[in-house]
C-alpha cells in the first residue's frame, strides 16, 4: 500500500497527463458517479501507463521483467484462482506444495519430501514468517529453562528494510552490525560480539541489497558452533536468500550456505527476483518439519476441507505460484544455470568497462554474488560531478542506474549499482556504455553548476529510494 498524500498527488506531473478520452477531473480525485464504456476506460488507462519507465532499462530493480508468452497465458488462465482456497483449487494447492518440495530439494533439506514451507507474496512476508518462527522457538526454549522472555534480539548485518519492519512490528530488538571502513558485510567476529542468551537468531543475507555481495554463511555457522561448544548457546541462522536462493544452487553449487549446514533452520527467497516468476511470489522454508513451531500454524476449515496455513495474508493470487512451477519445469537446473551465468558474465563485462572510464572504483565486480556490479567515485571531493548527477543524466536518457548512500556507519559512501537480469543483452550493455561516455564527456566540458547531493535529490525530485529494491 502506497500512502499517497492527495496534495502531493495533485502537484505531481504524472497526474497532469491530459487525456482526450475521459474527463480529467472525474478520473483523478472524485469517485465516479456513472459507468463508462470499457474500451474508453481501457484506452485511458493504457495511455497513462505508456508514461511509466521502460522496465528493460530499469537496472535498479531485482525483480524479473522477463515474461514468456506461456507465462502470460497461464497468468491469464489463473486470474480467478485464490491461493488460500485450497479446497476449491486442489491442483493449484498441489502445485504450491510441489514447489516447496522442489525448493527443499534444491536447498538440500535432509527431509526434502516432508519438510514444511509456504509461498508468500515475496521475501518480505517470508522474512516475517521466518522471524516469527525464530521468536517462538526461542521463547519455548527459554520458558523450558524458566528464564525471562522479555527481551528477544535478532542479530544481522546491513539488511533489507523488511528486517527492520519485522523487528519493529513484532517487538524484537534489532542488533544490526554497522558497516565500518571497508567492511560492508556481516562477519563472524561481529556476530559473536552481539550474540547473547536473548538472541533469537542471526540473519545472514545471501546477496546484500546495497552491494550485491554474499555474506559468509558457512563461516558464521562455524563461529556459532564454536560459541555453542563454549557457552551452550545454540543460536539458529536464518538465511535471507531473496536473490541468492535462486542463484547459488545453480552457479555456485559448491558454496555452503543452505540446509547442508545444520544450523541453517530457515531460508527465504523471492520467486519474482532471480526465481524468474512474475511479481508477487516468495518462499519460506524450514530445514525440517519441527523447525517451524506448530503454534504458528492455523487450521482453517471454512472453505471446506481442513487446511493448515501459515501466512500473514489470507487471500492471495495463485497465478504467480503456478508460473513459478512453470519456470521450474521449463528451465530446470540447466536453464537457470545458463541464464544466471550469462547475467553474471554481463555484470563482469560492465564492471571492466566502467572501470576503464577512469573516475570510478569498482566495489563489486559481479564475481561471486548477485549478477551486477557497483562502484564509487575514486575521488568524490575533487570530482566535478557526483554519482547523483551521473544517475540523473542517465535517467534523462531512459536508464535507471540508482545512486545512494550506504547505511550506518558508512553514510559518507555513495555508490551506484546495476543489476543484471534475464533479458539484458550485450547490445543493451553496449548502448548503456555509449550513453555513459556521452554523459562523462558532457561533465568534462560543462560540469554541473551545482553538484547534486543526497539531500538535494530527495528535495528536488520524487526519486524513490532504489537501494531497497
Ligand X SMILES: *Cc1c(COP(=O)(O)O)cnc(C)c1O
Across the strands, what pairs with 79?
none
Stretch that binds ligand X, among 89-97, 204-212, 320-328, 341-349 (CB under 6 A): 204-212
Is 270 a binding residue for ligand X by CB under 6 A? The answer is: yes
The number of CA neighbours under 13 Å toward the Cβ of 454 is 13
| In the complex, least distance from residue 124 CB atom to ligand X, rounded to whole angstroms | 3
CA 442 to CA 449: how far, in whole Å?
A: 12
Is 59 a binding residue for ligand X by CB under 6 A? The answer is: no
Is 209 a binding residue for ligand X by CB under 6 A? The answer is: yes
Residue 238 or 393 with smaller CB distance to ligand X: 238
Is 319 a binding residue for ligand X by CB under 6 A? The answer is: no
Dmax over Cα atoms in the chain, in whole Å? 74
Residue 60 or 195 with smaller CB distance to ligand X: 60
Size of the site for ligand X (CB under 6 A): 15
Is 240 a binding residue for ligand X by CB under 6 A? The answer is: yes
Is 243 a binding residue for ligand X by CB under 6 A? The answer is: yes
Residue 198 or 270 with smaller CB distance to ligand X: 270
CA 45 to CA 55: how far, in whole Å?
A: 18
**Cβ-based burial of 252 (10 A; exposed 0-12, middle 13-18, buried ≥19):** middle
For residues 104-143, which are near ligand X according to CB under 6 A? 122-124, 127
Stretch that binds ligand X, among 143-151, 187-195, 239-247, 351-359 (CB under 6 A): 239-247
Residue 227 or 277 with smaller CB distance to ligand X: 277
For residues 443-462, which are near ligand X according to CB under 6 A? none
Q: Which of 131, 282, 371, 402 binds ligand X (CB under 6 A)?
A: 282
DSSP 8-state assignment for residue 79: T
| In the complex, least distance from residue 272 CB atom to ligand X, rounded to whole angstroms | 6
Residue 240 or 291 with smaller CB distance to ligand X: 240
| In the complex, least distance from residue 258 CB atom to ligand X, rounded to whole angstroms | 15
Write phi, then psi, for 298 (nearest 5 degrees): -100, 140
Contact 132, 149 (CB under 8 A): no
For 435, the grid coordinates are 550513453
Q: Which of 162, 267, 284, 321 binds ligand X (CB under 6 A)?
A: 162
Q: Which of 21, 27, 58, 62 binds ligand X (CB under 6 A)?
A: 62
Is 392 a binding residue for ligand X by CB under 6 A? The answer is: no
| In the complex, least distance from residue 421 CB atom to ligand X, rounded to whole angstroms | 13
Is 205 a binding residue for ligand X by CB under 6 A? The answer is: yes
Is 176 a binding residue for ligand X by CB under 6 A? The answer is: no
Write phi, then psi, for 206 (nearest 5 degrees): -95, 85
Contacts for 261-264: CB closer than 8 Å, 24+ residues apart:
261/217, 261/218, 261/221, 261/237, 262/287, 263/221, 263/224, 263/225, 263/235, 263/236, 263/237, 264/217, 264/221, 264/236, 264/237, 264/238, 264/239
Residue 85 or 240 with smaller CB distance to ligand X: 240
Q: Which of 27, 119, 160, 199 binds ligand X (CB under 6 A)?
A: 160
Is 266 a binding residue for ligand X by CB under 6 A? The answer is: no
Contacts for 380-384: CB closer than 8 Å, 24+ residues apart:
380/414, 383/359, 384/443, 384/447, 384/448, 384/451
Residue 21 or 154 with smaller CB distance to ligand X: 154
Angle subtended at Cα 56 by Cα 406 and Cα 278, rounded to the nearest 5 degrees: 90
Residue 62 or 375 with smaller CB distance to ligand X: 62
Cβ density class 166-200: b for 16+ within 10 Å, e for less? bbeeeebeebbbebeeeebbbbbebbbebbebbbb
Q: Which of 144, 135, 369, 165 lies closest to 248, judged by CA?
A: 369
CA 264 to CA 267: how far, in whole Å?
A: 8
Is 275 a binding residue for ligand X by CB under 6 A? The answer is: no
Select the residue whose beta carbon is closest to ligand X and give its number.
122
Stretch that binds ligand X, among 137-145, 205-213, 432-440, 447-455 (CB under 6 A): 205-213
| In the complex, least distance from residue 430 CB atom to ligand X, rounded to whole angstroms | 28
By three-state DSSP, how is residue 266 classified? strand
Write phi, then psi, for 308 (nearest 5 degrees): -80, 135
Residue 239 or 351 with smaller CB distance to ligand X: 239
| In the complex, least distance from residue 187 CB atom to ligand X, rounded to whole angstroms | 17
| In the complex, least distance from residue 28 CB atom to ligand X, rounded to whole angstroms | 29
For 182, the grid coordinates are 571497508
| In the complex, least distance from residue 129 CB atom to ligand X, rounded to whole angstroms | 12
Residue 21 or 212 with smaller CB distance to ligand X: 212
Positions in the binding site for ligand X (CB under 6 A): 62, 122-124, 127, 160, 162, 205, 207, 209, 240, 242-243, 270, 282
Amino acid at each position: 500500500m502506497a500512502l499517497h498524500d492527495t496534495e502531493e498527488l495533485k502537484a505531481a506531473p504524472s497526474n497532469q497527463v491530459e487525456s482526450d478520452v475521459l474527463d480529467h477531473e472525474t478520473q483523478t480525485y472524485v469517485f465516479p458517479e456513472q459507468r463508462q464504456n470499457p474500451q474508453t476506460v481501457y484506452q485511458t488507462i493504457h495511455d497513462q501507463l505508456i508514461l511509466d519507465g521502460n522496465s528493460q532499462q530499469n537496472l535498479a530493480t531485482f525483480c524479473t521483467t522477463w515474461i514468456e508468452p506461456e507465462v502470460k497465458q497461464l497468468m491469464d488462465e489463473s486470474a480467478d484462482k485464490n491461493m488460500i482456497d485450497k479446497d476449491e483449487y486442489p491442483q493449484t494447492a498441489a502445485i504450491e506444495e510441489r514447489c516447496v518440495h522442489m525448493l527443499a530439494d534444491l536447498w538440500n533439506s535432509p527431509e526434502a519430501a516432508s519438510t514444511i514451507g509456504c509461498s508468500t507474496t515475496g521475501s518480505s512476508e517470508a522474512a516475517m514468517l521466518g522471524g516469527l518462527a525464530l521468536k517462538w522457538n526461542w521463547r519455548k526454549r527459554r520458558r523450558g529453562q524458566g528464564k525471562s522472555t522479555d527481551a528477544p534480539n535478532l542479530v544481522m548485518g546491513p539488511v533489507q528494510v523488511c528486517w527492520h519492519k519485522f523487528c519493529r512490528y513484532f517487538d524484537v530488538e534489532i542488533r544490526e552490525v554497522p558497516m565500518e571502513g571497508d567492511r560492508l558485510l556481516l562477519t563472524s567476529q561481529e556476530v559473536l560480539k552481539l550474540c547473547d542468551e536473548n538472541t533469537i537468531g542471526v540473519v545472514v543475507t545471501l546477496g546484500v541489497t546495497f552491494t550485491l555481495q554474499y555474506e559468509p554463511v558457512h563461516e558464521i555457522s562455524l563461529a556459532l558452533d564454536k560459541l555453542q561448544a563454549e557457552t551452550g548457546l545454540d543460536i539458529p541462522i536464518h538465511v535471507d536468500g531473496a536473490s541468492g536462493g535462486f542463484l547459488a544452487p545453480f552457479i555456485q553449487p559448491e558454496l555452503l550456505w543452505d540446509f547442508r549446514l545444520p544450523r541453517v533452520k530457515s531460508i527465504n527467497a523471492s520467486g519474482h527476483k532471480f526465481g524468474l516468476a512474475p511479481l508477487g511470489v516468495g518462499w519460506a522454508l524450514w530445514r525440517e518439519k519441527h523447525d517451524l513451531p506448530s503454534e504458528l500454524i492455523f487450521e482453517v476449515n471454512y472453505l471446506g476441507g481442513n487446511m493448515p496455513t501459515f501466512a500473514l495474508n489470507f487471500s492471495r493470487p495463485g497465478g504467480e505460484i503456478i508460473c513459478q512451477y512453470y519456470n521450474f519445469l521449463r528451465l530446470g537446473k540447466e536453464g537457470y544455470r545458463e541464464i544466471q551465468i550469462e547475467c553474471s558474465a554481463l555484470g563482469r563485462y560492465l564492471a571492466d568497462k566502467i572501470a576503464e572510464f577512469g573516475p570510478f572504483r569498482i566495489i563489486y565486480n559481479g564475481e561471486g554474488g548477485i549478477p551486477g556490479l557497483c562502484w564509487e567515485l575514486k575521488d568524490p571531493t575533487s570530482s566535478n560531478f557526483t554519482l547523483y548527477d551521473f544517475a540523473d543524466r542517465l535517467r534523462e536518457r531512459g536508464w535507471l542506474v540508482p545512486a545512494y548512500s550506504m547505511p550506518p556507519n558508512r553514510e559518507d559512501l555513495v555508490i551506484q549499482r546495476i543489476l543484471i537480469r534475464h533479458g539484458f543483452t550485450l547490445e543493451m550493455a553496449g548502448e548503456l556504455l555509449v550513453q555513459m561516455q556521452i554523459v562523462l564527456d558532457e561533465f568534462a566540458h560543462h560540469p554541473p553548476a551545482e553538484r547534486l547531493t543526497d539531500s538535494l535529490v530527495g528535495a528536488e525530485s520524487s526519486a524513490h529510494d532504489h537501494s531497497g529494491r
